[in-house]
Structure 1
Amino acid sequence: MSAPEVIEGDVAAGWAPRTWLGAPAPGGLALPPAAPTMAWLYSPRGVYLDDRHLVVADSGNHRVLIWHGVPEEDERPADVVLGQPDGTSEGPAAGGRGPEHGLHLPTGVLIHDGRLIVADAWHHRVLIWDEVPRRSGRRPDLVLGQPDLGSAEPNRGGECSARSMYWPYGVAVVGGRFYVADTGNRRVLGWAGGIPSSPDEPPDLILGQPGPAEREENRGEGVGPASFRWPHGITGTPELLLVADAGNHRVLGWRPHPGGDRGADLVLGQPDPYTAAEFPYGPQRADRLRFPYAASLDGDRLAVADTANNRILLWHGVPTASGQAADAVLGQPSFTANGENRWSGVARDTLCWPYGLWLHGDLLAVADSGNNRVVIWQRA
């Protein structure tokens, strides 16, 4: 049974924008410059935040930016750029220099145990630095999904296998297991021992497909609790794994974590695990999602980027029931609204296609992709 519709509620829940990183918005539009800078962004899709770092996948500029220290002033330039030779260059593979030198639409970013992890989606690989770089241009120490840094073919240039990737968009470490949202293969890969130590170390878990060679949408069948269309963001707790299945307009949850391929126990954004309807583009609800690309759970608070509805939904406790409605909404004046920038100009508290987010205590970093910026929100 779906949760009841919520028209008005705890709209901002004490959250307010604190820091704006990226292009300003003269005349109500936030546009990137003709040439990149270390301060401005172009369609960022991934973000990570902790006490000492902010990491942004500046996807449209095919680079990753790192701030050492959480920025507190607007438009502060980043300290480090990866994927480009300098802070004013752009283009896939470092402007055509090759995948060994650059990135192609990086999306997921993560720091875990002092290591930086980047999902280099259109190079069909995940890159790992053994420490967070403090200088620009440093090359990664390990590549997953490809045999070496110079290779960038989908599924290693062959058929889908346990060791190959096709558009990996999301990365996470949850409950000690390292996860990759292998989006183009419509599956999630998991390594129980944590981050692999070599490119050839296969995952012990393939979730969403019946075997390592299969890659069809929704397993080639109708949507169900064990299938994906576009798995993207991954988050959770040691007891709960959550995957944002953007193409099916839902978030799936497994409690406990799956030891093998099995159906989810929880679904958010849809009335049941067999429904994947896109809720009509009109008045929205607190229990529906449209293309949710990211989710972040910290403590007992869950945030989901409800991307096509131009809003962030918040649950004040870890959801326990399928169809559970959100408790608060950011970026819109109510749960029913969903306009890009509220059908007005760009303001500090508006959103336009938020693709990525990261909850860290009372801070929430949002990759507000359509507005070419990252905004750090703070809870009073």
Structure 2
Amino acid sequence: MQSSQQGQTIQPAEITVKSTAAAYKTVSTKPAGWFATGQDADIMLSGIDFNNAGGSLLFNHPGTAASDGVRLLLADRNNNRILIWNKLPTGNMPPDLVLGQKDFITNNPGTGLDQMNWPVSVSVGGGKVVVTDTYNNRILIWNSFPTKNGQAADLIINSAQGDLQQLQAEKKRSIQWPWGAWTDGKKLAVTSTQNGIVLLWNSFPTQNDQPADIYLNGKGDIGTPRTITSDGTHLIVGDHNSKIAGQSQGTGIGNFFWKNWPTSDDAPYDFFMADPSDPRGVWMQGDFSDGKLIMIGAGLHIWNSFPQNENDKPDLNVGDRSLVGGDGSGMAIAGGRLYVSLDNGNKIAVFNSVPAKIDDKPDFAIGSPDINTNTLDTNFIMSNAVPATDGKSLFVSSDFDRRLYVWKNLPDESNAHPDFVYSLTDAPWDNALFGNVLALAGKRSVFIWSNLPLNGELPDVIFTNKIGNVQFQDLQGVAMDSKYFYLSDNQAGKIYVWEGVPSADSNPKFTIDADSPGRLSSDGKYLVVTQTLSKTPGGSISIYAADGLSSSAEPLAVLGGAGKFNLPQGALISQGHLFAGDTGFNRVLIWKNIEDAIAGKNADVILGAEALTDTTPEIGRNKLFWPAIPAFDGSYLWVGEFKFSERLLRFSVR
């Protein structure tokens, strides 16, 4: 492939490169062989280690916080634990107790009454503690406040059994992917997120699997309800995908408000409100204090009294972009202090009093040395890691972080930090490595290095908005081989193909129409297209013959169909092998010969599970949690996990 040096001029201030001076064990001898179903991964990047949280004050995307006025509780979501301070912390103090684990180091999930798998919310009231054990599809209840590490729950509310249709029919007994919980020790409210309903118990449950008294689905307007805010009189439910007809405020993200606690099935909500500062942002989660409603969303919003309609603006908006909620952020007000758990900020930000001015700042942080430090960054925890390797070095791009991470040599130990971290001007969704050329593509930008950036070199070429007559809309894939350079645009439904790396004014040789094309991979013989949201149920992977490729080309095979995949995020063709990141089914499928996949045969190897029937996400050594993108060099398979887990795992042939 010929590499062009033409492109837009790079201004040094646009991209920053940081050298970390990292030291880590590197690969000396590579293994030979092949993979085995259910095998262990051997090292983990983007994390401390297997079954190792890193200690009591290193969180991993915390969920909600709660307090009974004396103690503070935090759902440390990705570490599968609840942290408890027996006295309200006045600084960066370690917690006293942990639930879900026996100590403050381990973080493996489990299904016992003393274990959890991805707990998003915790609530406390009347001496009772409630936890949404989200990926175990259950609610854990302690009837009295726990006093020892790893104390088992007293009660459990499991979901009714059956298929999705049966579960939807048994609304009051169906707990599917519960995110939010609230209790005052007398009432209980829970979101059954996957079922699109909210469940209410008007008296606190006293038996295992006790059905709810009331269900709410907003007269069909609730989509995927997440978090709950209440004072026992008012009820607020955050929703990531509401079905509000004609919802013009944003994307359907927002909150349903009930002015009074609902007393009948599917009692209508009073109004729906998107975040006042950013209608396209996140849903809000909060708490009440002295008649005030305080919510964290795209900043901190304070109403002096409960809002009466969707146009009732906050009396005060506080904070900058560092004080932004995320998937499951929350707060607790106790002892005059405001404790705000920040999912993506990876800390609890604490105000010594409820803010009174727009520029009030938190007084201290818990889980971080200061309010400005994000320990996800300092520990090189990568979101949506997309790996690429030439067998000597490792490159990982992240759209969420807008970064490129570079290991000059292949790491051979867990928690090895990268040598260089690039902060980019756009969000790279995919990458490709061919020979000495590295390319990143995402949204409306393409970054190209003509030689691998092993010493912090800036890209040689940056294309923004267009190449030739191609206007970028939503780039989601890039691939290279000895003949072609490929870009996929998901929104346009196109795969653009150039001969060699293009220059700024090069038009593609031809264009292929495709259904929701995403990440791409090519070895020169086959072009593999991941189509996460294609019309095929569950998503699909299309395989084209690269030889003779043209605008009229049809796939040799389309892998997918009901029950085959669950929203695959990435596929790789390498050395004649096909690797598929079957994200929603939490496994990587491997065909030793891609021709077997084309012929419709099942995968030879499954990583992350012992059988196709095991689809539960877990962060164990031999388990996977939303695996998305594979990279292979003949000896090592690197697998990046997506969105709700952030590990980068290495599996070795044996």
Judge same fold: TM > 0.5, yes or no: yes
Correspondence 1:3-22 to 2 at 5 A: none
Matched, 1:67 2:85: yes
The answer as to 2:333 corresponding to 1:359 is yes
Counterpart for residue 227 of structure 2: 233
Q: Give SS of 2:173's match.
A: coil
Q: Which residue of 1 aligns with 2:211?
A: 202
| Distance in 1 (alpha carbons) for counterparts of 2:282 and 2:225 | 10
Q: What CA distance in whole angstroms lies between the structure 2 residues aligned with 1:328 and 1:204?
A: 37
User: 2: distance between equivalents of 1:364 and 1:46?
Assistant: 13
Do the aligned residues in 2 keep the contact of 1:243 with 1:295 (CA within 8 Å)? no
Q: Which amino acid aligns with 1:258?
A: P
Determine whether 1:377 maps to 2:395: no
User: Residue in 1 aligned with 2:173?
Assistant: 163
Q: Give the alignment's Cα RMSD to 1 decimal.
A: 2.5
For residue 295 of structure 2, the aligned residue among 300, 304, 311 is 304
* Deviation (angstroms), 1:192: 1.3
Give the partner amino acid of 2:288. Answer: L
Structure 1 counterpart of 2:315, from 310, 317, 327: 327
Indicate the residue corresponding to 2:105 in structure 1. Answer: 88
| Alignment partner, residue 260 of structure 2 | 256
Q: Residues 234 and 296 of structure 1 are in contact (CA less than 8 Å); yes or no, is this contact kept in structure 2?
A: no
Work out the CA distance in 1 between the residues paired with 2:278 and 2:343: 23
Structure 2 distance, partners of 1:179, 1:257, is 10
Query: Which protein is richer in helix relative to its size?
Result: 1
Q: Which letter does structure 1 place at the counterpart of 2:229?
A: T
Q: What is the TM-score when the length of structure 2 is the normalising length?
A: 0.42
CA separation of 1:174 and 1:69: change in aligned 2, threshold 3 A: closer
- Contact kept, 8 Å, 2:137 with 2:158, in 1: the verdict is yes
Other-structure match for 2:545: none
The alpha-carbon deviation at position 133 of structure 1 amounts to 1.2
| Secondary structure at the counterpart of residue 156 of structure 1 | coil
User: What's the offset of the Cα at 1:51?
Assistant: 2.6
Q: 1:249 to 1:175 in 2, by over 3 A?
A: farther
Where does residue 73 of structure 2 map in the other structure?
Answer: 55
Distance 2:283 2:239 in 1: 7
* 2: CA distance, partners of 1:115 / 1:92: 23
Equivalent in 139, 154, 177 of residue 126 of structure 1? 139
- Cα drift, residue 50 of structure 1: 3.5
Quote the Cα distance in structure 1 between the aligned partners of 2:136 and 2:47: 24
| Residue number in structure 2 paired with 1:213 | none
Gaps of 5+ in 2: 1-19, 21-45, 242-251, 355-654
- RCO comparison, higher one (Cα < 8 Å, 6+): 1
Cα distance in 2 for residues equivalent to 1:239 and 1:320: 14
Task: Say whether the 8 Å CA contact 1:287–1:326 is kept in structure 2.
Answer: no
Structure 1 unpaired stretches of 5+ = 1-26, 147-154, 211-218, 220-226, 271-284, 333-338, 342-349
Q: How many corresponding residue pairs?
A: 290
Equivalent residue of 1:88, what SS?
coil
Q: Distance in 1 between matches of 2:188 and 2:289?
A: 17
| Distance in structure 2 (CA, Å) of the matches to 1:289 and 1:239 | 28
Q: Which amino acid aligns with 1:156?
A: Q
Change (3 A) 1:189 1:107: same
Partner residue, 2:286: 295
Q: How far is the alpha carbon of 1:246 from its aligned partner?
A: 3.2
In 2, Cα distance between equivalents of 1:135 and 1:197: 22
1:44 CA displacement = 0.4
Alpha-carbon shift at residue 85 of structure 1 (Å): 2.3
Task: Point out the structure with max Rg over C-alpha.
Answer: 2
User: How many angstroms does 1:43 deviate by?
Assistant: 0.7
| Residue 132 (structure 1) shift | 1.5
Provide closer, same or farther for how the CA distance between residues 129 and 266 of structure 1 changes in structure 2, counting only shifts above 3 A. Answer: same
